[in-house]
């Protein structure tokens, strides 16, 4: 089917609360090569059939339609996106689409070092790496798989290729890694790294654990201020919800992401495309529309663009996450970090 030429002067994607939606997160797979204790059971989850997963060509068509109505930034995630073969092909195709200004990646970092050159050459601009501990044994306990050295090597490789800012997403868990807040913060004093501490969120797989392990961003900031003089900092490039701070003279900075204690819904600028082609209007809710069926039934990109605009009528004003109460199932905890 021939691709429809889209007029980039079309109406912007704006929801009913006058929030411009410029940021699209795309899960390219539901599979992951880790089994983090706060994200999924050790046995894994029922994975999607291959036929249910959007092809790269289908993703590109959807992004082209989204760009026509104002989406400017794309982030590829999963599951773990680097387990999907030839991801650089998708990066290259998206990076050259009219209207797209920024292509980023969220990853657990295990496969990053070996793929970084191909990804950077394809047009990847930035990378976020999920990392909850700097201790190898603790890494294996939290992730239920070994691999700390591979993740650190991936971070070094991203910095070497100039994919800045490199952001580290750390889910803080009481009794598991909250004693490492100072070590992560000290990292920002030595390297141009942006560490973001994330409140643990309630999902179906972790409710009992989350109630006991939850640490609020206010508590995290108190621990950081006990280390040294922490000043507000204008955040680096990106679309995420973090509030940033830095120690005087530090090349990096520290962020806190607080979906529970201080939600950022009024600043929401994002929607998420799942691996099987559903457009989720809230990362923590069940509001969604099916884009895969019309796409595979022959809908052109102008029709898809109209569906995106209509979807703004059901995008909720805010999420309603509560401590100990489950949100919709999330397969990639790093979805919260932009």
pLDDT tens digit sequence for 216-237? 999 999 999 999 999 999 888 7
Q: d(Cα 252, Cα 195) in Å, to the nearest integer?
A: 8
* φ, ψ (nearest 5 deg) of residue 233: -135, 135
Q: Which residue's structure tokens are 């990053």?
A: 112
Q: Which two tokens stand for residue 8?
A: 């980039």
The DSSP output letter for 325 is B
Q: d(Cα 64, Cα 206) in Å, to the nearest integer?
A: 36
pLDDT tens digit sequence for 79-121? 999 999 999 999 999 999 999 999 999 999 999 999 999 999 9
Starting at the edge strand that comes first in sequence, how are the strands of the sheet with 278-280 ordered?
Answer: 231-233, 243-246, 253-257, 193-199, 166-172, 126-130, 102-107, 73-77, 23-27, 270-273, 278-280, 288-290
Residue 288's pLDDT is what? 87
Q: d(Cα 215, Cα 201) in Å, to the nearest integer?
A: 10
Residue 208's pLDDT is what? 60
What's the whole-number mean pLDDT along residues 185-200?
94
- What's this model's pTM, rounded to 2 decimal places? 0.89
Residue 134's pLDDT is what? 98
Q: d(Cα 247, Cα 284) in Å, to the nearest integer?
A: 32
Average pLDDT of the chain? 87
Q: d(Cα 231, Cα 234) in Å, to the nearest integer?
A: 10
**Mind giving me the DSSP string for 31-65?**
--S---TTTS-TT---PPPGGGSPPHHHHHHHHHH
Q: Which two tokens stand for residue 81?
A: 């996106």
Find residue 244's DSSP bridge partners. 233, 255
User: 331, 106, 116: which is closest to 239 by C-alpha?
Assistant: 106
Q: d(Cα 146, Cα 162) in Å, to the nearest integer?
A: 27
The β-bridge relationship of strands 126-130 and 102-107 is: parallel
* 90 and 54 Cβ atoms separated by less than 8 Å: no
Residue 177's pLDDT is what? 95
Residue 44's pLDDT is what? 77
């Amino acid at each position: 089917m021939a691709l429809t030429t889209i007029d980039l002067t079309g109406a912007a994607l704006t929801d009913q609360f006058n929030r411009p939606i410029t940021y699209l997160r795309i899960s390219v797979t539901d599979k992951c090569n880790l089994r983090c204790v706060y994200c999924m059971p050790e046995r894994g989850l029922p994975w999607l059939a291959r036929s249910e997963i959007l092809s790269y060509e289908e993703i590109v068509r959807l992004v082209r339609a989204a760009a026509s109505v104002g989406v400017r930034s794309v982030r590829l995630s999963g599951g773990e996106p680097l387990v999907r073969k030839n991801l650089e092909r998708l990066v290259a195709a998206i990076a050259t689409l009219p209207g797209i200004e920024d292509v980023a990646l969220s990853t657990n970092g295990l496969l990053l070092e070996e793929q970084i050159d191909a990804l950077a050459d394809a047009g990847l601009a930035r990378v976020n790496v999920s990392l909850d501990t700097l201790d190898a044994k603790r890494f294996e306990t939290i992730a239920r798989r070994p691999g700390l050295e591979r993740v650190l090597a991936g971070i070094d490789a991203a910095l070497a290729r100039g994919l800045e800012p490199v952001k580290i997403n750390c889910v803080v868990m009481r009794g598991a890694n909250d004693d490492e807040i100072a070590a992560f913060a000290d990292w920002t004093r030595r390297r141009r790294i942006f560490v973001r501490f994330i409140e643990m969120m309630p999902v179906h797989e972790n409710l009992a654990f989350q109630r006991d392990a939850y640490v609020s961003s206010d508590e995290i900031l108190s621990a950081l201020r006990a280390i040294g003089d922490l000043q507000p900092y204008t955040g680096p490039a990106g679309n995420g919800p973090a509030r940033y701070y830095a120690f005087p003279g530090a090349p990096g900075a520290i962020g806190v992401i607080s979906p529970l204690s201080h939600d950022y819904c009024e600043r929401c600028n994002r929607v998420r495309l799942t691996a099987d082609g559903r457009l989720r209007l809230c990362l923590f809710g069940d509001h969604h529309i099916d884009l895969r069926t019309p796409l595979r039934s022959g809908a052109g990109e102008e029709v898809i663009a109209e569906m995106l605009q209509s979807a703004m009528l059901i995008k909720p004003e805010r999420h309603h996450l509560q401590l100990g109460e489950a949100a919709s199932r999330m397969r990639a905890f790093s979805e919260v970090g932009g």
